Amino acid sequence: MEKKQRLNLRNIAIIAHVDHGKTTLVDKLLRESGTLAAAEQTDRVMDSNQLEKERGITILAKNTGIIYGDYNINIVDTPGHSDFGGEVERTLQMVEGFLLLVDAAEGVLPGTRFVLKKALQLHLKPIVLINKIDRKDADIERTEAAIHDLFLEVAVDADQLEFPVLYGSSRNGYASTNPDLREGNMDPLFKAIIDYIPAPTEEVDGLQFLVTTLDYSEYLGALAIGRVFSGKVKLGDQVICCKDDTIGRPTKVTKMYKFLGVNRIETAEAEFGDIIAMAGFTEPLSIGITICHPDKPLPHSYVKVDEPTVTMYFSVNDSPFNGRDGKLLTSRQIKERLEKELKTNVALRVEPTESPDVFKVSGRGQLHLGVLIENMRREGFELQVSAPQVIYKMIDGVKCEPIEYLVVDVPLNYQGVVMETLGTRKAEMKAMHPYDERIRIEFEVPSRALLGFRNQFLTDTRGTGIATFSFHSYQPYKGDIPTRSKGAIVSMETGTVTGYALDTLQARGILFVKPTDKVYEGMIIGESSRDDDMDVNPCKEKKLTNMRASGTDDAIKLQPPRVMELETCMEWIRPDELMEVTPHHIRLRKKTLKANMRK
């Protein structure tokens, strides 16, 4: 069979470390090509999820379409954080090439290494754009040299070492092959995509539509989103779902959409190379299935997603305050929500435990599970979550643990304290690069050593340090690592917190509550200044008498309480503690509430 090509079509993914400008670049490409109407032009139009807008990061991979001259260009925007690597792995299968964005000032970071390695393993064609060259601290030469070193390290074959390099600024809307230019438009980038990224080629004779994303419509039911690798499909065609040796029952295609800008455009037919959404399925869908014609079942190969590295236990909220905040409280509702998440979140694993009220949930990292918990609480769930634990593996009879590749960027005067902290956490230094008044140090460090590291790191560097990491490999167990050194201040009463009680307690540690807050027995209300836990009564009231004594009625001066975000709480808690998550509150508590039963 002579292989056909779609010469006027290009499929490309944009990959980079977190916050190197992927989504801003897609915005500019949409505007400059005229694909986005003036009414639709908002900042980071691709970050449509509420959490993405708040955090300024991409969590879910999304695709869009651009028309440039006679060419259709399908662009996939991927997450930069390795915790969402499952999104990257499944969407890179849809494209022939990728655009690697690297910040001219920050250079190559762990996220860059992670996504580049995944793309090169799939033998995709690279284009490099050194972004943010307008920054005052941009160092284009150093960044370009680091990119070439990285390609030498992770390339699969020699052809991947030849690639065009462009220089530009996503925010200001220009790119060129000249690093000294600070004006222009995105035409050089469009031309590079058309010249260097291969056109789609038909692989086999027959329909192959690989599903990489699932969506749901109230009117059409399940929507399969993916890429047509071979053949042609029309509205009304009979199709079947195949995966490995499994073949489903025939079903009829009722709707198909192509992507243009932020919109889905109805289409009557699609052929190889197209990225589409399809409706009309009567059976449950899963990511990784291939949709074929009934007379020619041809399952397409599917990239295996990396295994989870972190586990947490989700359970029904059984605290004294349960049911006050949320609407969804039961184990059945939590189970259904987790099963629904499994359909679209390919890197997640959910297993039952001996108790029907507890579920073992495993993911690619703390942020991966943190986003799931945050989404659940916003939907009205109440649940309890245990401290994160890393997943160990036996490899050739040796106990192994997940290792992260950590890059810290700190002022020179904090180098010693950071290396000392990481030394106690079994980190191995791999490289050191001083520049200007700062130094960049690279480590391999056990995943469990990074639980609770972020707060310590920000304290040690007075908020001036930057730490980024991504999963590296499994290596033999490194031995015991010290966890949180301070104990918890635990309430031994249920009631309302009083300022009088807190006035005497604030000298004993850092408080998490303020006067008038409600607490219960066993709830953690602060961090002790000592190693062991401390049971206290934060509801104690001042005894009233008829006598006045000079000095005893001074105004109470309380320090503001420490307010901890969800991820910070996940890092802070110990194995004998739980995090109670409700729509409006995050409380920390002991697993055993009664003080006399914890002794």
Q: Which fold would CATH assign to domain 9-196?
A: Rossmann fold (3.40.50)
pLDDT in tens, the chain (599 residues): 567 778 888 888 888 876 667 677 877 777 776 665 533 444 444 444 454 444 444 444 567 888 888 888 888 877 655 545 556 667 788 888 888 888 888 888 777 777 788 888 888 899 999 888 888 888 888 888 888 888 888 888 888 888 889 998 888 888 888 888 888 888 888 898 889 888 888 877 888 888 887 777 777 877 888 888 888 888 888 888 888 777 888 888 888 888 887 778 888 888 888 888 888 887 777 778 888 888 888 888 877 666 788 899 999 998 888 888 888 888 899 999 998 888 777 778 898 889 888 999 998 778 788 888 988 988 899 999 998 888 888 888 888 988 888 888 888 888 888 888 888 888 888 888 887 788 888 888 888 888 777 777 877 888 888 887 777 888 898 888 877 678 888 999 899 998 888 888 888 888 898 888 899 999 999 988 888 888 999 988 887 777 665 555 567 788 888 888 888 888 888 888 899 999 998 899 998 888 888 76
Which pLDDT score is estimated for 314? 92
- pLDDT of 213: 78
pLDDT of amino acid 41: 45
What pLDDT is stored for residue 533 in this prediction? 86
Please check whether residue 179 is in contact with residue 167, taking contact to mean a CB–CB distance below 8 angstroms. yes
How does strand 290-292 pair with strand 238-243?
antiparallel
pLDDT of residue 42: 44
Instruction: Please tell me the predicted confidence (pLDDT) of residue 272.
Output: 87
| Continuous segment of H or E residues that includes residue 505 | helix 499-505
End-to-end CA distance of the chain: 76
CATH class of 393-476: alpha beta
Residue 35 has what pLDDT?
Answer: 60
- For residue 257, give both structure tokens: 């959409």
Q: Is 380 exposed, middle or buried (0-12, 13-18, 19+ CB in 10 A)?
A: middle
Asked if 9-196 and 208-292 have one fold, the answer is: no
pLDDT for residue 38: 39
Query: Hey, is 407 helix, strand or coil?
Result: strand
Q: What is the dihedral of CA 490, 495, 499, 503, to 10 degrees?
A: -30
- SS percent in the chain: helix, strand, coil, step 5: 25, 35, 40
pLDDT of residue 17: 74
Overall CATH class of domain 208-292: mainly beta
Q: Please list, residue by residue across 221-237, b when 16 or more beta carbons sit within 10 angstroms of its beta carbon and e when fewer do.
A: ebbbbbbbbbbebebeb
Query: Which residue has tokens 């634990």?
Result: 389
Q: Where are the domains of the chain?
A: 9-196, 208-292, 306-388+482-599, 393-476
CA atoms within 13 A on the CB side of 158: 0
306-388+482-599: which CATH number, 1.10.3720.10, 3.40.109.10, 3.40.50.150, 3.30.70.870?
3.30.70.870
- pLDDT value for 206: 84
